[in-house]
Amino acid sequence: MTDPLGVAASVVGITTAAIGSVKFLYTTISDINDVPIALGNIRSDLQAVEPILQKLLIELKSENSQVLLIDEIKGAIKNCNSACSMFKERLDHWMRHAIKHKAFWAEWADPVRVGIFEQGTINVFKGRLNDCKSTLMVALNTSFVFSLLVALGRLTVTCRGFMIKEVKESMLKGNELYLDEEKARANRESAAIESSLKQLSVSIRDEVNEESKRGLEQLLKEIQEQKASNEVFRKACEKALVKTKNIYHGIEQEIKNTKAESNSKAVAGLINISGEIQNIKQKISDTSAQGGSFAGAGIIQDLDLSIPSSRNK
C-alpha cells in the first residue's frame, strides 16, 4: 500500500516551484513601467492562486496530512507551472517588442487596440490559473470535510446540542452542493473551450497571411493546454463528488455470477473500501470457487489475494 506521507512529500517540490513561478511572474509584471490594464489585471489572478498554493504546501507538510485527490493536485500544479512558463515567454516577447516600438504599451491602454492574439493569450492564461485554483480548492475543501468527519467520529453522540449524525450529514450535503456547482462550471468551460478550438481550426485553415496563421496556431496550442487544465478540474470534481456521495447517500451494488475455477480466486463487492460510508446495500448472488480456490462476497477489506489460495480458505 502506498505511504500517504510519501505521496504528499512527492508533491511538495512541485508546489514550492509553482509558488516561485507565480511570485516571479507577479514581480515581472509589476516592474513594467506604465503597465497596461490588460496585463495589470493578471496580477489579481496571480494573487488569488498563491495563498491556495501556500495552504496546500502547509497541508502537505503536516504530520497528519489527509489531502485527497493527489493525482489531480499534481496535474493542477504542473499545469500552473506550465502556464506561468508559457506566459512568461509571451511576456518577454512583448517586452522586447515594446523596447523597439515605444508606443507598444501605450496602444494597449485602449482595450480595443489590444491584438486578438495578445488578448487570447491573456484570457487562456487567466483560465488556466483559475482551473488550477479551482482544482486545489475542490481537493482542499473535500479533504477538510473528510478529516472533520473522522474527528467527529471520535466524539460522543451529541455536540453542543446537535446530533453528530446530523452535523455530518449537513457537512456532506454542503460539500455535495458545492461540488455539483463546480462540476457544472467546469462543464460550461469545457464546452466554451471546444467551441473556441473548432473556430480557430477553421480560421487557421482559411487564413492566407502566414504571420497571422502562425499567431492563430500559437493561440490554438495555448487553448489546447487550457483544455488539459480544465480536464483536470473536471476530474477532481467528479472524484470528489463520488467520494462525498458514497458517504452521504451510501453505495448500492448488485453483483451476480462471480465465479472462479481451477486454482483461481474470486471476489465481489467493494473489496478495499476507504473512508467512512454511511450506508452500504449489497445484493450479491452466485459467488463460487472450485478446487483450492478462494471465493469471497461483500465488503472484504485489506485482503491480499497474492497470498496462496490454501491460506485464504
Comparing CA positions, the residue from 53, 195, 192 lying closest to residue 132 is: 53
| 218-256 pLDDT tens trace | 899 999 999 999 999 999 999 999 888 887 665 444 455
Residue 49 identity (one-letter amino acid): V
Cell numbers linked to 49: 492562486
Instruction: State CA 200 to chain mean position distance.
Output: 26
* CB crowding 234-250: b at 16 or more within 10 Å, else e: bbbbebbbebbbbbbee
3-state secondary structure of 85: helix
Residue 86 identity (one-letter amino acid): M
Residues in the chain with pLDDT < 70? 1-7, 102-116, 153-163, 248-313
Comparing CA positions, the residue from 1, 6, 48, 4 lying closest to residue 26 is: 48
Q: For residue 102, give the DSSP letter.
A: T
Residue with C-alpha cell 506561468? 84
Which DSSP helix (H) or strand (E) runs through 281? strand 280-289
3-state secondary structure of 250: coil
pTM equals 0.75
pLDDT of 310: 37
Number of helices (H) and strands (E) in the chain: give both, helices first. Answer: 9, 4
Percent of all residues in the chain with a pLDDT value above 70, rounded to a whole number? 68
| 165-215 pLDDT tens trace | 777 788 889 999 999 999 999 999 999 999 999 999 998 888 878 888 888
Residue 131 identity (one-letter amino acid): D
Residue 169 identity (one-letter amino acid): E
Where residue 286 falls (left for φ over 0; alpha for ψ -120 to 50; beta otherwise) is: left
